[in-house]
Amino acid sequence: MNNDRVIKTEYSEEMQKSFIDYAMSVIVARALPDVRDGLKPVQRRTLYDMFELGVRYDKPFLKSARIVGDTMGKYHPHGDSSIYDALVVMSQEFKKGLPLVDGHGNFGNIEGDGAAAMRYTEARLQKITQEAFLSDLDKDVVDFIPSYDETGKEPTVLPVKVPNLLINGSEGIAVGMVTSIPPHNLGEVIDAEKAYLLNPDITTSELMQFLKGPDFPTGGIVINKDELLDIYETGVGKIKLRGKVEFEKQKGGKTNVVITEIPYTMIGANISKFLLDVAALFESKKTQDIIDISNQSSKEGIRIVIELKKDADPENFVNMLYKKTRLEDTFGVNMLAISNGRPETMGLKEILRLNSEFQYEIHTRKYTNLLAKELDKKEIQEGLIKACNVIDLIIEILRGSKDRTMAKSCLVEGKTDGIRFKSKESKIMAAQLCFSEKQANAILEMRLYKLIGLEIEALIKEHEETMTNIYRYEDILENKSSMTEVILSELDAFKKEYGRKRRTVIENGKEAVFKEKEIEETQVVFLMDRFGYCKTVDLSVYERNKEAADNENKYIVACKNTGKLVLFTDTGSMHTVKVMDVPNGKFRDKGTPIDNISNFNSQNESIVYVATQSDLNLCPVIFVTAQAMVKIVDGGEFDVTKRSIAATKLNEGDRLISVIALREQRNIVFVSEEGFFLRIPIEEIPEKKKGAVGVRAMKLTAKDRLSAVYYTRNTIDSSIDYKGKTIVLNTIKIGKRDTKGTKIRV
């Protein structure tokens, strides 16, 4: 390898530069929309490719696979799935306020079912996409850049004539930033744009007299109307959404709660999750009012029916749904888009300002282009009219010329050398001709039928129309007010043809308040077998089956149904579980795995102790590890709201082997794997914080570890079976902490 090809650079600087380059590529070229056309690059390229393929609204559908393949091959080198996903989303009426693609086939549904494979579906442009997004591409209104392989060109932005960023909104995640713009009503957005065009000094508050707020395709209710002004001024905030609910009276005095519209954030898999959440409210006994729940949604719209009991309070039940499920949800607004090549967070007025500037820019380029074409036509038309007046002379020139060049020189410069004329007068008149290059070419290419009287009249009439267009285009270009009128007229036409009624209601909703039915506090017993299956049974059920329960279960804890259980594991973690979350049933019910109702993971840890949180509040807790580290912790430190915490600190390679609440125990006996026993008074163990490692209880050899821990009382003898030998723990000589202990030989 040649040394001159090795580039030496600082690693951190290269990483920083590479990451910034990558981040900006994602931000500008993939994830964020352009404020001018409201489109991400993949959307823009897909629409442009469909336009180039001629897949118009009035033409037959084309296979999606053909569109995707063509787009990927020409313009978008990022994989077919991103292109097809963009195509699908642009066709879904439940996601876009203004669908830009007309999809034919299975393009998914509001309940989260995905679209069919691209080889099965077909698509074409919507009429408004063709008219408002792509119609002026042939008039040099936007810049074109080379495609990624430089075999063609693509537009840097589409000449969109409506504020699409607001109409369709946008969602995207870039590197270190996210955009989330809600969709709006086309008619209201156009009215707001018109208001800005007529008065650039208009305030956001005045603009919101026209644009009331977001208009989601799924309808629903926005309940924080008073907060919208601040959101639209800053471009950042939270919109509170609720689904629309109706009550239907049934026979027998029952009431059905019917959800007819859902929050925009619930579309997709969240509908199924909502149904599961409602069912969970019943299973967890948050409510006992539900008889049945069914999803009767169809192509006609959303219809989720919840049947309630006769004595249920429907209003209170709906308030509970607002509080406990996604029937009331939040849409986070962050109106971030690309402006002049940079990502910026913009308010409503700024978006309308940039869009109006874009409208003036594309209209200026459009009418400049049209004016140039009309001036060319005028020049040629005037030449042809002038030629008709001296047609005999022109015919004489053509007949007397040796070639086209000689005839053209005579028409343009009046050169008569070499041309045979019938008379001197003709030669003198020919020398006075001064047609332009374009006029001379048009005359030389003119067909004889143009000399017919009616054709000449038509030419004169066409010239008059050309002059009218020239005066109009010059007026539009020279007078901003005239151009504004043109833009306003186009906006009015789009509103008239494509406008629709608002779907989302905007109001100041009342805070949802519901009264939970108080749960009757009862005494239950928590049972968990050695396989980790747990349940609770009523105290009377346990007492009738006490012997079987004690034999079959590893952990048995008396508790109240309103309390909490704490699980200590060998990894030093503590997990809390609400007793209400543990299924209550019959004694012979299998129960549910403890993993399913807590953060405990049986693959990575083992439970060493189970107690109620209320019991721990009343007494200290002792911790012992395999490396003989020991400490006492105040039980109040474990009264936490989190589902999981670190209950103790462990040395590397260590694990908990014993945790217990201290009540009447007086001595503790440590047993090592090598057969050493050490009995010490519990008073020798210091109290520490839960974040401490503790102190050494017993000296162990390098390979030895504690295998068991026992607790004794002074007046009660307790014995254990150790390798076939019965050992009375109280007879072991009391020693000192951090000593080796006594070797028991068997």
Which tokens in the block code for residue 480?
A: 């901003």
Place of tokens 């057969």: 675
More confident residue, 114 or 585: 114
Average pLDDT over residues 327-333: 94
Residue 575 has pLDDT above 80, yes or no: yes
Question: What's the confidence (pLDDT) of residue 625?
Answer: 94
Instruction: Give the C-alpha separation, 366 to 139, whole Å.
Output: 6
**What does CATH list as the number for 356-497?**
1.10.268.10
Give the gyration radius of the chain's Cα atoms.
41
Average pLDDT over residues 639-644: 88
Question: What's the confidence (pLDDT) of residue 161?
Answer: 95
Neighbours of 512 (CB within 10 A): 18
Average pLDDT over residues 72-99: 92
State pLDDT tens for residues 650-662. Answer: 999 999 999 999 8
Average pLDDT of every residue of the chain:
89
The single-letter DSSP state of residue 133 is: T
State pLDDT tens for residues 608-618. Answer: 999 998 888 88
Residue 24 has pLDDT above 80, yes or no: no
Of 157, 166, 196, nearest to 488 by C-alpha is 196
Domain boundaries, the chain: 32-160, 244-326, 356-497, 523-743
More confident residue, 620 or 402: 620
25 pLDDT tier (thresholds 50, 70, 90): low
Of 601, 560, 598, nearest to 581 by C-alpha is 598
Residue 1 has pLDDT above 60, yes or no: no
Q: pLDDT above 90 covers what percent of the chain? A: 57
The single-letter DSSP state of residue 496 is: H
In whole angstroms, what separates CA 623 from the centre of its chain?
Answer: 46
547 exposure class (CB count in 10 Å sphere: 0-12, 13-18, 19+): exposed
SS3 406: helix
- The DSSP bridge partners found for residue 153 are 146
Residue 511 has pLDDT above 80, yes or no: no
Instruction: Give the C-alpha separation, 732 to 624, whole Å.
Output: 20
3-state SS of 281-332 is HHHCCCCCCEEEEEECCECCECCEEEEECCCCCHHHHHHHHHHHCCCEEEEE
Of 585, 605, 608, 583, nearest to 596 by C-alpha is 583
Which tokens in the block code for residue 523?
A: 């005494």
Residue 2 has pLDDT above 60, yes or no: no
- Do residues 602 and 533 touch, judged by C-beta distance below 8 A? no
The single-letter DSSP state of residue 345 is: E
716 pLDDT tier (thresholds 50, 70, 90): confident
Which tokens in the block code for residue 676?
A: 């050493």
pTM, 2 dp = 0.72
More confident residue, 235 or 460: 235
28 pLDDT tier (thresholds 50, 70, 90): low
Question: What's the confidence (pLDDT) of residue 448?
Answer: 67
Instruction: Give the C-alpha separation, 267 to 245, whole Å.
Output: 16
State pLDDT tens for residues 656-683. Answer: 999 999 888 888 999 999 999 999 999 9
383 pLDDT tier (thresholds 50, 70, 90): confident
Instruction: Give the C-alpha separation, 701 to 708, whole Å.
Output: 16
Give the right CATH number for 523-743 from 2.70.98.20, 1.20.1420.20, 2.120.10.90, 1.10.1760.20.
Answer: 2.120.10.90
State pLDDT tens for residues 243-260. Answer: 999 999 888 788 899 999
Question: What's the confidence (pLDDT) of residue 732?
Answer: 87
Question: What's the confidence (pLDDT) of residue 454?
Answer: 59
State pLDDT tens for residues 149-186. Answer: 888 999 999 999 999 999 999 988 877 778 999 999 99
Residues with a catalytic annotation lie at 120
- Do residues 575 and 567 touch, judged by C-beta distance below 8 A? yes
Amino acid at 574: M
Give the right CATH number for 32-160 from 3.60.21.10, 3.40.50.300, 3.90.199.10, 3.40.50.720.
Answer: 3.90.199.10
Average pLDDT over residues 482-487: 95
Mention the CATH class of domain 244-326.
alpha beta
